[in-house]
């Protein structure tokens, strides 16, 4: 049976207008987490961090338009700057190394300056979504639920026009689809090769700590 993906907004309606304050351009990497975050702590990690996850399209577009090498603006735990799937402990551990935007020493995005974002028109899907965040959950039937909420501390919340939920959901679906198109074939290949055990634990990386 094919996997089903459902989307649920954790709010009835919301107003938002970006204030260009730069608060979302300051990345948080909570120190209580190691480089590998277990699946059962991912939701907690997402609530305490605000890393900007990049899709392959994000990376290619920014690199092509700015001329920057991905190594200059992408953080991954492993060498491949477009991300990778690693299997460890004889198939008992699967590590999903998703690429994130690199930060400066002060925690700000490498493309952030006092005047604001240098690549605002090229900004990644994750930046376009902010202050709306997505948490992936599994349903009892094994399907995936993409739950959309928002960061209430963002000064742009409550200002401007009502958010178009259909456009918001489209961004969420596009981001999720790109991520699945990236890891899906890799996991399938590794599974067919017998390199992943059925009860393997899944971890996500926190690059750039």
pLDDT band per the 50, 70, 90 thresholds, residue 39: confident
CA distance 56 to 170: 17
Strand 74-75 vs strand 15-16: parallel, antiparallel, or unpaired?
unpaired
Phi and psi at 205, nearest 5°, equal -90, 160
Cα radius of gyration rounded to whole Å, the chain: 17
Per residue in 112-156, pLDDT (tens digit) is: 998 889 999 999 999 988 888 887 777 777 678 888 888 888 899
Predicted confidence (pLDDT) at residue 94 exceeds the cutoff of 90 = yes
> Would you state the pLDDT for residue 64?
96
* Nearest Cα residue to 27 out of 51, 60, 59: 51
Q: For position 122, what pLDDT does the model report?
A: 94
CA pair distance 59, 54, nearest whole angstrom: 7
Locate 31 and state its tokens: 């120190």
Closest to 66 in 3D by CA, of 127, 118, 126: 118
| Mean pLDDT across 176-195 | 88
Q: Look at residue 90 and tell me whether its pLDDT is greater than 80.
A: yes
Query: What are the two backbone dihedrals, phi and then psi, of residue 159, each rounded to the nearest 5 degrees?
Result: -115, 155
CA distance 115 to 95: 37
CA distance 161 to 16: 6
In the chain, the number of structural domains is: 1
Q: What is the pLDDT of residue 1?
A: 40
Range of the domain at 122: 5-205
As a whole number, mean pLDDT of residues 11-39 equals 88
Phi and psi, residue 110, nearest 5°: -65, -20
Q: How far apart are CA 156 and CA 132, in angstroms?
A: 11
The predicted pLDDT at position 123 comes to 93
**Average per-residue pLDDT for the chain:** 88
pLDDT at 103 (0 to 100): 94
Percent of the chain with pLDDT over 70: 98
Mention every residue, 6+ apart, whose C-beta is less than 8 A from residue 65.
119, 122
């Amino acid at each position: 049976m094919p996997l089903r993906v459902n989307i649920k907004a954790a709010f009835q309606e919301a107003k938002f207008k970006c204030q260009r304050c730069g608060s979302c351009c300051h990345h948080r990497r909570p120190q209580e987490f190691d480089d590998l975050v277990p699946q059962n702590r991912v939701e907690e990690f997402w609530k305490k961090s605000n890393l900007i996850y990049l899709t392959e399209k994000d990376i290619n577009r920014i690199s092509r338009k700015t001329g920057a090498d991905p190594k200059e603006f992408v953080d991954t735990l492993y060498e491949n700057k477009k991300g990778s799937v690693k299997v460890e402990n004889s198939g008992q551990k699967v590590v999903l190394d998703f690429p994130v935007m690199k930060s400066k020493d002060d925690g700000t995005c490498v493309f952030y300056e006092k005047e604001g974002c240098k690549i605002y028109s090229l900004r990644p899907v994750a930046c376009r979504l902010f202050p709306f965040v997505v948490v992936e959950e599994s349903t009892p039937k094994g399907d995936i639920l993409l739950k959309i909420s928002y960061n209430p501390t963002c000064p742009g919340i409550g200002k401007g026009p009502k958010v178009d939920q259909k456009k918001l959901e489209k961004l969420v679906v596009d981001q999720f689809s790109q991520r699945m198109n990236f890891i899906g074939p890799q996991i399938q290949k590794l599974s067919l090769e017998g390199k992943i055990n059925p009860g393997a634990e899944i971890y996500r990386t926190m690059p750039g700590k």
